[in-house]
């Protein structure tokens, strides 16, 4: 699909993790629109798919300790499903899933990437799953309510309001990148990741941008490669916002897991 650059660029800087929701249910048209985005993104991500569930079971989400850190009141949800036999399933799931989340944000809906604290058995009952597939993550979906005290503590514990300096997520130094590259890096810097670890490294060499995961940062269910897939979409949107349109090529070998391929010469400084 053709990425709605301005719409998603604004959503990148508006998005935040939401765990507390009102009782208001998103319209059927909005939910259908999200499903259409998910389906259209499969051309770029054949190993991943997303299923929008209009009525989320209340028992779907679990807190870290009882209700602490759990999701309250989400009327809908999205299941993020990957073909685990495909080499690039984690990166593609992050890329496709974040597209759904950015579109939801643009619609005024709240979301939150959740990889470990949901009922996998209950999720499997909501949609047919092929033997090679796995529901790797989910997001609640609905209208944000007032932030609870435990949600504030959870965000503080996860350092969700902190981001690494650009110099720590790229090489060479940001000053040596073109304007469109710095725009892409700035957008990637805001990408969500498990425990806010930001396990990606963007490299500019001979005019080509690539991304590799930080091997030292591998924790939990949501892998470094899934996190990188999210950051890849953010970079693409940020670069396009500055006039450099391109797509990612999934790499099979080497430390780089993706290479950004420009569709046309980027704008001059």
In the chain, the percentage of residues whose pLDDT exceeds 70 is: 87
Looking at the domain assignment, is residue 267 inside a domain?
A: no
How far apart CA 83 and CA 237 sit, in angstroms, is 25
The two structure tokens encoding residue 70: 């759990």
3-state SS assignment for residue 122: helix
Average the pLDDT over 194-215 and give the result: 92
Phi/psi zone of residue 196: left (φ > 0), alpha (ψ -120 to 50 degrees), beta? left
Average the pLDDT over 80-107 and give the result: 97
Confidence (pLDDT) at 151: 56
Q: Is the same domain home to 146 and 181?
A: no
The two structure tokens encoding residue 158: 């996860």
Q: Kindly state the DSSP code that residue 223 receives in the 8-state scheme.
A: -
pLDDT of 193 strictly over 60: yes
Pairing of strands 258-262, 246-250: antiparallel
Confidence (pLDDT) at 158: 45
Average the pLDDT over 27-35 and give the result: 98
Of the candidates 154, 192, 139, the residue with the CA atom closest to the CA atom of residue 21: 139
Average the pLDDT over 149-164 and give the result: 57
Structural domain that includes position 129: 5-156
pTM equals 0.91
How far apart CA 162 and CA 245 sit, in angstroms, is 28
How far apart CA 213 and CA 202 sit, in angstroms, is 9
Average the pLDDT over 23-42 and give the result: 97
Average the pLDDT over 29-48 and give the result: 98
The two structure tokens encoding residue 77: 């949800």
How far apart CA 256 and CA 269 sit, in angstroms, is 27
How far apart CA 262 and CA 250 sit, in angstroms, is 14
Q: Is the same domain home to 45 and 152?
A: yes
pLDDT of 173 strictly over 80: yes
Average the pLDDT over 250-266 and give the result: 89
How far apart CA 21 and CA 149 sit, in angstroms, is 14
- Per-residue pLDDT band for 253 (boundaries 50, 70, 90) equals confident
Looking at the domain assignment, is residue 239 inside a domain?
A: yes
In the chain, the percentage of residues whose pLDDT exceeds 90 is: 75
- Per-residue pLDDT band for 181 (boundaries 50, 70, 90) equals very high
Looking at the domain assignment, is residue 151 inside a domain?
A: yes
Q: Is the same domain home to 83 and 118?
A: yes
Confidence (pLDDT) at 254: 81
Q: Is the same domain home to 54 and 94?
A: yes
Looking at the domain assignment, is residue 58 inside a domain?
A: yes
Least confident stretch, 19-23, 29-33, 219-223: 219-223
Cis status of the peptide bond prior to 15, with omega within 30 of 0: no
How far apart CA 265 and CA 31 sit, in angstroms, is 37
User: Looking at per-residue confidence, does 66 or 128 come out higher?
Assistant: 128
Q: Is the same domain home to 108 and 205?
A: no
pLDDT of 80 strictly over 60: yes
Q: How many domains does the chain have?
A: 2
Q: Is the same domain home to 28 and 152?
A: yes
Pairing of strands 200-205, 170-171: parallel
Confidence (pLDDT) at 31: 98
Confidence (pLDDT) at 157: 46
Helix 89-106 to helix 5-14 angle, to the nearest 10 degrees?
90
Q: Which long-range contacts (CB under 8 A, 24 or more apart) does 258-265 make?
A: 258/91, 258/210, 258/211, 258/228, 258/232, 259/208, 259/209, 259/210, 260/184, 260/208, 260/209, 260/210, 260/211, 260/235, 260/236
């Amino acid at each position: 699909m053709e990425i709605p650059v301005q719409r998603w660029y604004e959503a990148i800087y508006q998005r935040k993790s939401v765990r507390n929701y009102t009782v208001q249910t998103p319209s059927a048209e909005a939910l259908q629109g999200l499903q259409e985005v998910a389906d259209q993104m499969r051309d770029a991500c054949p190993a991943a798919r997303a299923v929008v569930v209009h009525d989320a079971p209340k028992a779907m989400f679990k807190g870290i300790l009882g209700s602490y850190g759990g999701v309250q009141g989400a009327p809908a949800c999205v299941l993020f499903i990957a073909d685990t036999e495909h080499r690039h399933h984690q990166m593609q799931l992050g890329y496709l899933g974040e597209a759904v989340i950015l579109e939801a944000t643009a619609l005024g809906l709240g979301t939150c990437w959740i990889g470990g604290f949901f009922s996998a058995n209950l999720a499997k009952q909501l949609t047919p799953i092929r033997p090679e597939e796995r529901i790797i993550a989910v997001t609640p979906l609905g209208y944000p309510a007032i932030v609870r005290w435990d949600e504030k503590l959870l965000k503080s514990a996860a350092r969700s309001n902190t981001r690494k300096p650009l110099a720590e997520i790229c090489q060479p130094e940001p000053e040596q990148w073109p304007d469109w590259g710095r725009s892409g890096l700035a957008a990637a810097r805001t990408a969500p990741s498990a425990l806010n670890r930001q396990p990606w490294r963007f490299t500019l060499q001979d005019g080509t941008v690539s991304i590799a995961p930080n091997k030292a940062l591998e924790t939990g269910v949501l892998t470094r490669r899934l996190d990188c897939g999210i950051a890849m979409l953010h970079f693409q949107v940020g670069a396009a916002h500055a006039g450099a349109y391109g797509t990612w090529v999934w790499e099979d070998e080497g430390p780089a897991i993706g290479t950004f391929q420009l569709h046309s010469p980027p704008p001059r400084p």
